[in-house]
Amino acid sequence: MNNFYEIIEKNQKLEKPALVDDLQSISYKDLFVLCNNLSSYLASKKIRKADRIAIFLPNSIEFALSFFSCLNIGAIAVPINPKFKKNEIQYYINDSNPKLIITSDTLRTILLETNNKLEKKIISLKGEEVDLDIFNHKYLGDKLNINSINENDKAIYLYSTGSTGIPKRVTRTHKNLISLANNHSETVGLDKSEKILFTLPISHTYALGNFIAAIKSAMTCYLQGDFNRKKVTQIIEKEKITIYPCVPFILDVLAQSNIDPKSFKSLKLLISAGAPLSKEVFDKFSEKFGIHPRQLYGSSETGVISINLEKDITSTLGSVGKPVKGVTVKIIKEDGKDANTNEQGEIIVKSETMTTGYDNLPEETKEVFKNGFYYTGDLGYVDKNGLIYINGRKKLIINISGNKVDPTEVENILSSHPKVKEAAVIGISHQSSHESIKAFIVCNEKTEKGEIIVYLKNKIADYKIPNIIEFVENIPKSPTGKILRNKLG
């Protein structure tokens, strides 16, 4: 198999539902026909192999059609989260330089407010005023030749939080996606009888990995643009959802609700990732609903690394499980030697699912991609049963309900405020496994917290905005000028 789209072809005769969103449902047969229609339309727009197509849409059937159509014609999909702020959107568009941007008529306005020169690149597939009504569109040409696509061709651009405060572009190939889908589905034991719900953005590597594994297994995927407790409960109960990938924050909200536990009786697998799952949240959720959340570990660079599927989940709660099929995990000490059982070190990963490096960033690539392994920056150990435990990180990344925040990025934005001399940002851990962001700010003239928040709201996504702001006279630094974060709190 050279092209992930061959999976869509393989399932083309299935009449069972493939994708369900708020507006409609389509079968695997429909999915194949509609993707071919859109692929042909994109080809008519002179889109060719290796051209970039940005997908600026929430979870929806249109998002899925756009993604698979890109793969079909050999274009590179560039998912961009529509919740990003204007300067973030501008960064991703500038960095990826897409030939086309697929969006909705509503989101088109946001794109044009970001950059009015994008008008000629935008195609709207969703809304009242669309450029292409994909569901009524006639097939434009002969069947496209997908044999020209090689498994090592680029399929998608994802972005990993950068140590410099700038997101790093990660290229994943068709081979990476095919391996990811196979590894995840075979490890978990997915089959076409399953129904999976997505409330996390498929533009993010965690949800994307679950999504392509589900499509490979011919499952029915329910797509929601966001998490809404009432709506999620209704969908799980009514549609008899069996698998739900989420984050600890969602589990905590559900556990504290007055939801009837019977509403979740269809759930067989509840996956938690993006941030550590605390015993408190695990216990509350398990006691209320009678199902144990399973921790998954992964990254933008590798896709899924491991998942805890142990029968004795209560005594292995702190573990992210064993590596999924096709993934090798090692623990390396600071001297570069392999760590012993239960000995802490850096977690490094090798797999056919992983990228080979960061685009146009040779120094950053050299730092973390060595000898065929990806050095995650996470600290942990492997016990005698082969279970992976994560207990720290070398890097500074902050987890906010599964979203990765680089403190350097927030510091750079804060420091651009005319009244801010310098800033330092750290993550504050809480017993519930949540992290919040705290900013320490040195001002060059008096300002208020509210003014800082308003400034940030126009610059970065809401989840990156500090929950706590403290004005200080100075920020502790080393003789070389490095911020001493361990002295901040």
What pLDDT, on a 0 to 100 scale, did the predictor assign at position 140? 54
pLDDT digits (tens, 9 = 90+) for 198-217: 999 999 999 999 999 999 99
What pLDDT, on a 0 to 100 scale, did the predictor assign at position 432? 61
What pLDDT, on a 0 to 100 scale, did the predictor assign at position 163? 47
How far does CA 274 lie from the centroid of its chain?
9
CA distance 137 to 34: 8
Tell me the CATH number of domain 398-487, given options 3.40.640.10, 3.30.300.30, 3.40.50.2020, 3.90.1150.10: 3.30.300.30
Tell me if residue 179 falls in helix, strand or coil: helix
CA distance 249 to 129: 36
CA distance 466 to 450: 12
CA distance 426 to 57: 31
CA distance 100 to 105: 15
Query: What is the dihedral angle through the alpha carbons of 411, 414, 418, 419, rounded to the nearest 10 degrees?
Result: -100
**Which residues in the chain come in under a pLDDT of 50?**
163, 480
Cβ atoms within 10 Å, residue 108:
22
CA distance 437 to 398: 8
What pLDDT, on a 0 to 100 scale, did the predictor assign at position 10? 96
Task: Look at residues 154, 159, 156, 215 and name the one whose alpha carbon lies nearest to residue 182.
Answer: 215
What pLDDT, on a 0 to 100 scale, did the predictor assign at position 141? 54
Task: Look at residues 118, 74, 66, 123 and name the one whose alpha carbon lies nearest to residue 92.
Answer: 118
What pLDDT, on a 0 to 100 scale, did the predictor assign at position 334? 83
What pLDDT, on a 0 to 100 scale, did the predictor assign at position 408? 80
pTM of the model: 0.84
- Give start and end residues of each alpha helix (H) in 217-350: 229-239, 248-255, 279-289
**All residues at 6 or more sequence positions from 260 whose CB lies less than 8 Å from its CB, including other chains:** none
Cβ atoms within 10 Å, residue 352:
16
CA angle 323, 307, 27 (to 5 degrees): 110
Amino acid code (one letter) for 43? A
Q: What is the largest CA-CA distance in the chain?
A: 69
Q: Are 125 and 66 in contact (CB under 8 A)?
A: yes
**Element at 195 (helix H, strand E):** strand 195-198
pLDDT digits (tens, 9 = 90+) for 295-326: 999 999 999 999 999 999 999 999 999 999 99
Token pair belonging to 13:
């005769």
Report the DSSP beta bridge partners of residue 90. none
What pLDDT, on a 0 to 100 scale, did the predictor assign at position 407? 86
Task: Look at residues 48, 47, 66 and name the one whose alpha carbon lies nearest to residue 56.
Answer: 66
Tell me if residue 152 falls in helix, strand or coil: coil
pLDDT digits (tens, 9 = 90+) for 54-99: 999 999 999 999 999 999 999 999 999 999 989 889 999 999 999 9
CA distance 89 to 103: 13
